[in-house]
């Protein structure tokens, strides 16, 4: 009985909503304990050397809500309990487009799953490859990472997560292995960002560098980090086999697909290709993507010959499976909203930049890397973090003898590495929600890899400084 109670408590603490709520509470407390301050901004860009503290008188009423005490112009107020709670629905409203996109993807896969097309397609694919997991992992990861490191693809991979998870579970492995194949490939692709326009088109011009310049170290970073990820997942596969996954040869259905299933898979593949093209050609946002997923859902339902009622039931059933994403994305966004209300986000940036100082180029580079790791919790957006930190880190790096390209590399590694695990990243949260895997379970699964990647990052940054990259 005692063991069951302890297990229940442990399970509740691992609940991703509880974890995210604790982070929101910590952010709220920081608005009381950290001084408020602000950088001047030129649009979205921070003006270096412009940080100034803002007076923040604190009264008992501030604990309840900042609005209960009149705040004179030019002063700040901490975020109270009411502000913290209000930040959650504000975060959901702010990210409504992203949330609906995730829900519509879930609905689309609800229809695909009900039709049996995904299961039939995977059975056929596994029959052709003979289900060799040691071939599938590197091939799939190289394909997925190519899209993210060259073109900046990320949310487009939401479509393939359920399929890769179905593949690994069909082979007898865990669903988290399927999630890791996609997530680690995408995140490491962003970490290297060989020609990722979302990271480099913002960061490099801010330091006076041509966009996409300095390929050599980013290519080396890609191969080192991807090699570690593939080796890590191979080790996880061996662990699962040692823990009881059957290694006996599995017989797969080698029958050709039915005409109906073939048509649905053909539409899915063509739909993904067109999605990648449209997203980059016409710069589709969340609302356009949601409409596109709804259109595909209608096409799939028509091919499967579902009645309107059957299609609606399948769509809603699929949406229910990813509904927790709405709350998680709202909580993640609430962290930034709370820090902004208390005017302490710029203070955190200022303190972290102060840690870099005018030290040796090696120490300064490591400090930049660590600063970007920490800042990514508050600013998980790659382009957003570049716009805020590059105008500050660039001059600081030059004073310490760090080249602009190495400063960019430290930013990419810090931002990319934290995004593998940070609970405030809406991108990671929607991946987890799509896979129906909790953040705590994911963190326990990848923490050994995070340590390996951090060590590799330090080594690569050391090489970058030593060769004058």
Q: What is the DSSP letter of 467?
A: T
> Any idea which of 5-14, 172-181, 317-326, 456-465 has the lowest mean pLDDT?
5-14
Query: In angstroms, rounded to a whole number, what is the distance separating the alpha carbons of residues 298 and 312?
Result: 10
Tens-place pLDDT, residues 278-332: 877 887 888 888 899 899 999 999 999 999 999 999 999 988 887 877 788 888 8
- Cα–Cα nearest to 53, from 73, 71, 35: 35
Counting residues of the chain whose pLDDT is more than 90, the rounded percentage is 32
Model confidence at 14, pLDDT cuts 50, 70, 90, reads: low
Go through 132-149 and write b for each residue having 16 or more CB atoms within 10 A of its CB, e for each that does not: ebeebbbebbeebbbbbb
- 106-121: average pLDDT: 84
Q: What is the pLDDT of residue 358?
A: 63
- In this predicted structure, the answer to whether residue 10 has a pLDDT above a threshold of 60 is no
**DSSP string of 117-186, one letter each residue:** HHHHHHHHHHHHHTT-HHHHHHHHHHHHHHHHHHH---GGGGGTHHHHHHHHHHTT--HHHHHHHHHHHH
Tokens of 85: 């709670």
Model confidence at 354, pLDDT cuts 50, 70, 90, reads: confident
Given a contact cutoff of 8 angstroms between Cβ atoms, the answer to whether 66 and 78 are in contact is yes
Q: What is the pLDDT of residue 246?
A: 55
Tokens of 122: 């995977």
Q: What is the pLDDT of residue 4?
A: 47
Q: What is the pLDDT of residue 3?
A: 47
**DSSP string of 318-368, one letter each residue:** HHHHTTHHHHHHHHHHHHHHHHHHTT-HHHHHHHHHHHHTT--HHHHHHHH
Query: In angstroms, rounded to a whole number, what is the distance separating the alpha carbons of residues 269 and 356?
Result: 47
């Amino acid at each position: 009985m005692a063991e069951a109670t302890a297990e229940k408590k442990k399970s509740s603490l691992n609940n991703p909503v509880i974890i995210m709520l604790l982070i929101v509470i910590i952010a709220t407390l920081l608005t009381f304990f950290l001084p408020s301050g602000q950088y001047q901004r030129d649009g979205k860009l921070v003006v270096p050397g412009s940080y100034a503290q803002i007076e923040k008188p604190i009264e008992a009423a501030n604990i309840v809500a900042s609005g209960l005490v009149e705040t004179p112009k030019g002063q700040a107020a901490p975020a109270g309990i009411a502000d913290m709670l209000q930040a959650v629905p504000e975060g959901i409203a702010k990210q409504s487009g992203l949330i609906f996109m995730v829900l519509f993807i879930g609905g689309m896969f609800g229809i695909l799953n009900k039709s049996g097309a995904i299961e039939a397609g995977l059975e056929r694919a596994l029959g052709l490859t003979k289900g060799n997991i040691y071939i599938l992992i590197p091939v799939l990861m190289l394909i997925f990472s190519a899209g993210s490191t060259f073109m900046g693809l990320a949310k487009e991979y939401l479509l393939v997560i359920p399929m890769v998870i179905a593949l690994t579970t069909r082979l007898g492995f865990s669903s988290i292995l399927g999630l890791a194949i996609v997530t680690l490939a995408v995140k490491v692709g962003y970490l290297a960002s060989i020609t990722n326009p979302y990271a480099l088109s913002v960061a490099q011009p801010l330091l006076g560098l041509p966009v996409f310049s300095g390929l050599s170290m980013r290519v080396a970073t890609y191969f080192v980090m991807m090699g570690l990820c593939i080796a890590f997942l191979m080790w996880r596969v061996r662990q699962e086999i040692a823990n009881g996954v059957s290694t006996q040869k599995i017989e797969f259905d080698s029958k050709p697909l039915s005409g109906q299933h073939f048509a649905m898979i053909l539409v899915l593949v063509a739909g993904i290709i067109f999605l990648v093209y449209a997203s980059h050609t016409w710069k589709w946002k969340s609302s356009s993507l949601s409409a596109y997923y709804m259109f595909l859902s209608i096409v799939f339902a028509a091919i499967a010959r579902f009645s309107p009622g059957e299609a609606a039931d399948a769509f809603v059933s699929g949406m229910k499976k990813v509904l927790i994403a709405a709350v998680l994305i709202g909580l993640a966004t609430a962290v930034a909203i709370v820090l902004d209300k208390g005017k302490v986000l710029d203070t955190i940036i200022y303190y972290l930049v102060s840690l870099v100082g005018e030290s040796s180029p090696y120490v300064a580079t490591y400090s930049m890397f660590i600063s970007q790791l920490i800042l990514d919790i508050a600013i998980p957006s790659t382009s957003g973090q570049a716009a805020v930190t590059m105008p500050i880190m660039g001059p600081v790096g030059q004073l310490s003898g760090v080249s602009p390209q190495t400063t960019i590399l430290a930013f990419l590694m810090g931002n990319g590495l934290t995004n593998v695990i940070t609970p405030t990243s809406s991108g990671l949260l929607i991946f987890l929600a799509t896979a129906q895997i909790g953040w705590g379970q994911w963190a326990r699964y990848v923490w050994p890899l995070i340590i390996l990647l951090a060590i590799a990052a330090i080594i690569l940054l050391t090489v970058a400084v030593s060769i004058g990259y």
